[in-house]
Amino acid sequence: RADDGYRLWLRYDPIPDASLRQAYTGAISEIVIPENPRPLVASARDELVAGLRGLLGADIPVVTKATRDNALILGIPRDPWIAAVVNEADLREAGVEGYVLRRIAHEGGHRTLIVANRDSGLLYGAFALLRHLQSHQSLDNLNVISAPKIQRRLLNHWDDMNRHVERGYAGFSLWEWFYLPEIRDPRYRDYARALASIGLNGTVITNVNANAQILTAPYLAKVAALAQEFRPWGVRIYLTARFSAPIEIGGLKTADPLDPAVAAWWQGKVAEIYRTIPDFGGFLVKANSEGQPGPQDYKRTHADGANMLADAVQPYNGIVMWRAFVYSPDNNDDRVKQAVTEFAPLDGKFRQNVIVQIKNGPLDFMPREPFSPLFGAMPNTRLAAELQITQEYLGQSIDLAFLAPMWREVLDADTYANGKGTTIASIVDGSAKLQHPSVIAGVANTGTDRNWTGHLLAQANWYAFGRLAWDHQLSSEKIADEWTRLTFGHDDTAVSTINKMLLGSRETVVNYSMPLGLTHIMAEGHHYGPGPWVDKLGRADWTSVYYHKADEKGLGFDRTATGSNALAQYAPEWQKLWGNVETCPENLLLWFHHVSWDHKMKSGRTLWDELCLRYQQGVDEVRALRRDWDSLKGRIDEERFTHVAQRLARQEKEAINWRDSCLLYFQQFSKRPLPTGVEPAT
Ligand code: GCU
Rg of the Cα atoms in the chain: 26
Note if 392 is an active site residue: yes
DSSP 24-52: HHHH--EEE--SS--HHHHHHHHHHHHHH
Segment 495-529, tens digit of pLDDT: 999 999 999 999 999 999 999 999 999 999 999 99
Atom of ligand 1 nearest to the CA of 207: 10
* H helix count then E strand count, the chain: 21, 16
Q: How far apart are the first and last CA of the chain?
A: 39
Question: Is 3 one of the catalytic residues?
Answer: no
Q: Is 165 in the pocket of ligand 1 (CB under 6 A)?
A: no
Asked whether the beta carbons of 119 and 97 are under 8 A apart, the reply is no
d(CA 206, CA 184): 18
Question: What does the pLDDT read at residue 2?
Answer: 60
Beta strand segments in 116-256, E: 143-146, 152-156, 202-204, 236-240
| CB neighbours of residue 225 within 10 Å | 19
Going from the Cα of 158 to the center of ligand 1, the distance in angstroms, rounded, reads 9
Distance (Å, rounded) from C-alpha 173 to C-alpha 183? 16
Q: Distance of CA 651 to CAs 504, 529, 626, Å?
A: 15, 10, 9
Does ligand 1 have an atom closer than 6 angstroms to the CB of 286?
A: yes
Nearest to 320 by CA among 359, 349, 281: 281
Residue nearest to atom 10 of ligand 1 (CA): 209
* Mutation test residue for ligand 1: of 157, 164, 289, 364, the one with most atoms within 8 Å of CB: 364
CATH number for 152-474 (one of 1.10.3720.10, 3.40.720.10, 3.40.190.10, 3.20.20.80): it is 3.20.20.80
Report yes or no: 544 and 519 within 8 Å, Cβ to Cβ. no
177 phi, psi to nearest 5 deg? -60, -35
Distance (Å, rounded) from C-alpha 648 to C-alpha 110?
A: 49
What residue ranges do the domains of the chain occupy?
18-146, 152-474, 510-557+594-670
CATH architecture of 18-146: 2-Layer Sandwich (3.30)
Which residues are within 8 A (CB) of 191 and not within 5 positions of it... i.e. 6 or more apart?
174, 230, 446
451 CA distance to ligand 1 middle (Å): 24
Pairing of strands 109-115, 99-106: antiparallel
The finding on whether 660 has its CB within 6 A of some atom of ligand 1 is no
Angstrom distances, CA of residue 484 to CA of 454, 476, 498: 17, 12, 7
DSSP string for 651-678: HHHHHHHHHHHHHHHHHHHH--PPPTTP
Nearest alpha carbon, ligand 1 atom 7: 364
Comparing 152-474 with 510-557+594-670, is the CATH topology the same? Answer: no
Report how far residue 119's alpha carbon sits from residue 97's, in angstroms, rounded to the nearest whole number: 8
Exposure on the CB side of residue 423, measured as CA atoms within 13 A:
14
Strand order in the sheet with 143-146: 62-63, 30-32, 71-75, 109-115, 99-106, 143-146
> Which one of 97, 364, 369, 541 is the catalytic residue?
364
| CB 321 less than 6 A from any atom of ligand 1 | no
SS3 state at 533:
coil
What phi and psi, each to the nearest 5 degrees, are found at residue 255?
Answer: -120, 20
Which tens digits make up the pLDDT trace of 167-216?
999 999 999 999 999 999 999 999 999 999 999 999 999 999 999 999 99
542 lines ligand 1 (CB under 6 A): no
Cβ–ligand 1 distance for 166 under 6 Å, the answer yes
Task: State the pairing for strand pair 595-596/554-555.
Answer: antiparallel
> Ligand 1: distance of its center to the CA of 477 in Å?
30
AA letter at 64: T
Q: Give the number of the atom of ligand 1 that is nearest the alpha carbon of residue 359.
A: 12
> Is 196 in contact with 127 (CB distance < 8 Å)?
yes
Q: Give 10-residue mean pLDDT values along the chain (682 residues).
A: 86 96 97 95 98 97 95 88 89 97 94 97 98 97 97 98 98 98 98 98 98 98 98 98 98 98 98 98 97 97 98 98 92 95 97 98 98 97 98 98 98 97 97 86 98 98 98 98 98 98 98 98 97 94 97 98 98 98 98 98 98 98 98 96 98 98 98 97 88
Out of 386, 392, 541, 654, pick the active-site residue.
Answer: 392
Question: 510-557+594-670 in CATH: which number?
Answer: 3.90.1330.10
Q: Beta strand 282-285 with 319-323: parallel, antiparallel or unpaired?
A: parallel
Selecting among 69, 90, 290, 297, the annotated active-site residue is 290
Q: Which of 164, 167, 286 to mutate to test the pocket of ligand 1 (most atoms within 8 A of CB)?
A: 167
pLDDT at 328: 83
Residue 27 CA, ligand 1 centroid: distance in Å: 50
Is the beta carbon of 524 within 6 A of some atom in ligand 1?
no
Instruction: Report the residue among 158, 285, 445 best suited for mutation to probe ligand 1: largest number of ligand atoms under 8 A from its CB.
Output: 158
- Report in angstroms the alpha-carbon separations of 311 from 258, 276, 436, 597, 625: 12, 19, 16, 55, 52
Decide if 229 is catalytic: no
* Cβ-contact 75, 114 below 8 angstroms: yes
Omega before residue 437 within 30° of 0, cis: yes
Q: Which atom of ligand 1 is nearest to the CA of 166?
A: 9
Total residue length of the chain: 682
How much distance in Å is there from the Cα of 175 to the middle of ligand 1? 21
* CB half-sphere exposure, 286, CA atoms < 13 A: 22
- pTM, two decimals, is 0.98
For residue 682, the CA-to-ligand 1 centroid distance in Å is 33
Determine the distance separating the centroid of ligand 1 and the alpha carbon of 81, expressed in angstroms: 53
Determine the atom of ligand 1 nearest the C-alpha atom of 386. 12
Say yes or no: CB of residue 167 within 6 Å of ligand 1.
Answer: yes
* 8 A C-beta contact, residue 111 and residue 61: no
